[in-house]
Chains A and B, each alone.
Chain A
Amino acid sequence: METRLLIVNSDPVFQDRALALFDMMESIEVRVVRALSDAISVLLGENFDALFVEGDGPLALEQAANVRQHFPSLEIVCLVSGPCDSDSTQLATQQNINVILANGSDRRLDRDIRSFVQTLERPLGAAAEGIDPCHSLIGNLNQFSAAEILQMSCLGQRSGRFTFKSGRGNSEIYLQQGSVRHAVFDSLEGEAAVAEVFRWRQGRFYFEEGIISQVQTVNRPWAHLLIDNLQKLDETLELASVNASSYEG
């Protein structure tokens, strides 16, 4: 399975030092976009293992931090060509953004990019999924969004575990008496994991009644989570629609 990378580069024809290195890497698929809005639009529709933002230090980091607000679990790398001030470095650390300095030699840049890309390579996991008698609700996310099914379950005062499976990975959300108690996706926990699942448009889900989490990572009422996440989703869609609307009219 190829590692899929999305690269934001405002001048991919003339400023193509890093792109030339990506060209020569095996088992990766690269998609290049010129603007952040294009990137968000692409990320909403397809799964990528990582996003690379190329540019001058502070600007590239600001763009990367912007994407982080909309895609909490995405691996983001900034390929910065200029100097980075301490504020920018702090921002990168806070937002979990990897920084690779692009002003060194080609060999060093190649080594840094390759070592990062290697961390993305995952073993193929067989989807161990089937209909189990304990799954009281099973469905597809392209027919019912995560927001819809969680809303329905919370209104019904359900307790149990939702498992969401998509190309991005698996996520679990635990409900207790109609409230979200715990959510986990990859290394994310709590509200960030709920926010991630809200964006999924492809995949499957199932609910297992009665499985309760002992861990509590979500403390806010469901209604607040729903409103916040739908608002965030609207903002993401708005960013992405800047381009789409221009073509569609």
Chain B
Amino acid sequence: MKDKALETKLRVLTLQLDSWKKLHDFITYGLDKAKPIVSAEQERQFTEIRAYLLQETEFVFKELDLLGELSGKAMNVLQRASSIRGVRDLTNDEVRRLEMEWNGVFTKLGVLQGQLKTQRKELAKMHPLKYYLNRALRRPILATS
């Protein structure tokens, strides 16, 4: 049995996590003193990922019911990390805050992804009749949901 809303949540969450991971790769690269060259192509890719996150974050967090909890942290990260070169120019304090807030967003999304996957697994075992009965009676589909 598959639940449409659950599948949509998992899909957008996976895409969102993927973008946050890529953003982190670039931030790490920017902060790495041993890699001094930042190419125009890298900056372009960074801006592209930042643009995806800027336009999708609010929508995705709303879908996942995380808007209040994560929106501020996510916006702080995206505003501080304006470019790879910009990240390089941040003070140690700002870098620490950036990493802490990125970690806050990533951890929450990762945990939620695990929870949603668990729900999907349980749903796959559920008999279709029980699923539709729960829906018709407006009961929670799963005990955990």
Contacts and interface: CB of A to CB of B under 8 A. Distances in A.
B12 interface: yes
A23 B37 contact: no
By secondary structure, the B interface counts as helix
B15 A24 contact: no
Contacts of B8: 16, 20, 23
B56 A13 contact: yes
A20 B42 contact: no
Contact of A20 (B4, B16, B35): B4
Interface residues of A, number: 17
Given A23-B7, A23-B8, A32-B15, A247 B2 contact: no
B64 interface: no
Contact of A249 (B14, B16, B37, B52): B37
A72 interface: no
B25 interface: yes
A243 interface: yes
Contact of A247 (B22, B32, B37, B52): B22
A115 interface: no
A13 B17 CA distance: 13
A14 B7 CA distance: 15
A246 B15 contact: no
B41 A246 contact: yes
B12 A13 contact: yes
A159 to B, nearest CB: 48
A12 interface: yes
A19 B52 CA distance: 18
B71 interface: no
Interface string A15-56: 010011001101000001010000000000000000000000
18 contacts: A13-B56, A13-B59, A14-B56, A16-B8, A19-B11, A23-B2, A23-B4, A23-B7, A23-B8, A23-B11, A26-B2, A32-B15, A243-B45, A246-B26, A247-B22, A247-B25, A247-B45, A249-B37
